Amino acid sequence: MSRPVTLFTGQWADLSLKDLCKKARAFGYDGLELACWGDHFEVSKATQSYCDAKRDLLKRNGLKVFAISAHLVGQAVCDNIDSRHQCILPEHVWGDGKPEGVRKRAAEEMVNTAKAAKKLGVKVVNGFTGSSIWHLLYSFPPVSNDMINAGFKDFAKRWKPILDEFKKLGVKFALEVHPTEIAFDIASAERAVEALDGHPAFGFNFDPSHLGYQGVDYVEFIYRFKDRIFHCHMKDVGWAKHPVEAGVFGGHTQFGDRRRFWDFRSLGRGSIDFEEIIRALNRINYTGPLSVEWEDSGMDREEGAAEACSFVRKVDFKLSGIAFDAAFDE
């Protein structure tokens, strides 16, 4: 299949982009999905010459870039801001830490991210949205419909102006549907699209790992949002087939704890059915990159990243151009 295999750099931000480029090429990747943190892609520095230099660095290593990712700043646009956010945000976005100021600066940074993406020559920005109502997930004390409606209205109020700027620039925003976001399953994703009145710049970075352990039909997600799958993460997760100590909510344990019901796994070593994912992507004519987001607390990341690249190339295949029994047609 001609779909490029890329590596998301978010889990490699401790390495310089120069060093990571060399490793990614040695692992066998076609390109990188650049995270907007570390020195991989800094929005505040994204002049045209800066973007040209990034592309040149990738090109010298035989790599391309199809998307950038702004998960950390995007999270702050709608979130209930607290001290955790200071650890993930650039200083100029965090500022004095007053919540509404942080949210407004995060929104401005997302618009600047779209401008930077255009300079870099990419048309997709992946990321998170944050959510003012995630903490209301479990309905006790009882959560009213009005409270949930208010959360989606807040999301629309904050993101519509950002998405309007994305549209002007010819760039799309791809939400990675994920617990803690305004959309974390099919039902909430549909509601998010509805809240935005079907904004054409809003879609999804499909990632099955965040859906499978919840019991969400991740293949159906592809079909349901076939016109809004702007990017695809290849990421695996394993979940237990027997009772465990820490269930779906994690029991306040750390990743890698054997007591957990679920944990992220290197590609091909978890419970996700990638065969059906590829067939679904073929049916909706998705031709974008298959981007490996490598996370596995129990495996060496370099060994895992190289193995994951090989796995994606093996599992990907072309959609047939003819019916298998066409030879019998008169």
Which pLDDT does position 172 carry in this prediction? 98
Q: CB–CB of 7/291 below 8 Å?
A: yes
At a CB cut-off of 8 Å and minimum separation 6, what does 16 contact? Answer: 38, 39
- Three-state secondary-structure class, residue 292: strand
How would residue 318 be classed by pLDDT, with cut points 50, 70 and 90? confident
- CA torsion angle for 222, 145, 130, 168 (degrees, to 10)? 70
pTM of the model: 0.96
DSSP 272: -
Q: What is the mean pLDDT of the chain?
A: 96
Overall fold of domain 5-328: TIM Barrel (3.20.20)
- The identity of residue 168, as a single letter, is K
Q: Tell me the per-residue pLDDT of 249-305, one tens digit each, with 9 for 90 and over.
A: 999 999 999 999 999 999 999 999 999 999 999 999 999 999 999 999 999 999 999
pLDDT (mean) for 149-158: 98
DSSP 198-251: T-TTEEEEE-THHHHTTT--HHHHHHHTTTSEEEEEE-EEEE-SS--SB-TTGG
Which pLDDT does position 330 carry in this prediction? 59
Q: Tell me the per-residue pLDDT of 3-13, one tens digit each, with 9 for 90 and over.
A: 999 999 999 99
Domains of the chain, by residue range, sit at 5-328
What share of the chain in percent tops pLDDT 70? 96
Which pLDDT does position 301 carry in this prediction? 97
Extract the tokens encoding 284. Answer: 């909706």
- Three-state secondary-structure class, residue 321: coil
Please say if the pLDDT value at position 146 is more than 90.
yes
